[in-house]
Amino acid sequence: MAIKMDGLALAKKLKEQAREEAAQLRRRPGLAVIIVGDNPASRVYVNSKRKDCEECDYYSEEYALPETSSQQELLELIGELNRREDIDGILVQLPLPRGFCEEEVLLAIDPGKDVDCFHPYNVGKLTIGQPVFQPCTPGGVMELLKEYHIDPAGKRCVVLGRSNIVGKPMAMLLLHAHGTVTVCHSRTPDMKEIAATADILVSAVGQVGLVTGDMVKEGAVVIDVAMNRNAEGKLCGDVVVEEVEPKASYLTPVPGGVGPMTRAMLMLNTLTAAKNHLKYLK
Ligand code: NAP
């Protein structure tokens, strides 16, 4: 029976460490979160970020722009926050309402304040193995692996999903950790067979019931990144737990696995940004 990888407990520990480290700095790390429009899911995420900042004793600001605001107004706000000495991290909650150009918005954030690690500069640094920030969700997965003494080196790693937010940076981090990585996506014809070869299987697709028992090798580590709602409206991942749990050696629960780790990584990135800025600010 798979060991449950407790993301809640590890996230709590990492946030406590971040709080202790932040307390040693000359001033509190500062995070600005921008939300545009009133998407209820985005609102939940923004509230949880505020709570995390409180837990870590960071300074935080929230900007709620109406859906009717313009791209220019949003860019001007980002410009202002870029220039602020007390703000280390800027996060624009995605998705943005229709009509906004996300690409331009993400490019406008000072890469030194890009705590989500979405700016092409930071993606490039990550790709060449010199990351400034950790991509939050994949970085959280790597921390979970480390906590359970699972070393990807020499292992066969399969990532399901190739998004810029999860799949691609996940593959990159596993590769940097010396795993042999295969990425599957919607055009992969033999995904089941490939998945079944994995020592470490990461599913980041967003499809209830996708990862069945026959896709998991005996003893594999299975990381379920997805956050779906099942037919009863309950939060669940991609993995069919009752089929995979008896075969896997480790499995992340949903909720309580990767989700809390993503939030903790944002706090760690904000701390990194603050340390970097304080080096230059006299
Ligand atoms: P996304 O942008 O929709 O990407 C999904 C990926 O899955 C795409 O690469 C897509 O392939 C692939 N895919 C779709 N159907 C497939 C299939 N039948 N077989 C194989 N691959 C398939 O989603 P995302 O933003 O990466 O998020 C993925 C999941 O993770 C979602 O459930 C999301 O809620 C969750 N998530 C969780 C956290 C967390 O903190 N736990 C954070 C972020 C996201 P194509 O590229 O070919 O379309």
Beginning with the edge strand found earlier in the chain, give each strand of the sheet holding 59-65 in spatial order. 59-65, 30-36, 89-92
pLDDT given for residue 280 in this prediction: 78
- Out of 93, 110, 113, 247, which one is annotated catalytic? 93
pLDDT given for residue 249 in this prediction: 98
Q: Whose CA is nearest to atom 5 of ligand 1?
A: 205
pLDDT given for residue 282 in this prediction: 59
CB 194 within 8 A of CB 170: no
CA nearest neighbour of 60 among 70, 72, 71, 52: 52
The fraction of the chain above a pLDDT of 70, given in percent, is: 99
- Out of 49, 113, 168, 247, which one is annotated catalytic? 49
Q: How is residue 43 written in tokens?
A: 């609102």
pLDDT given for residue 92 in this prediction: 98
Q: Which domains does the chain have, with CATH numbers?
A: 28-112 (3.40.50.10860), 136-258 (3.40.50.720)
pTM: 0.98
Q: Point out the residues of the chain with pLDDT beneath 70.
A: 281-282
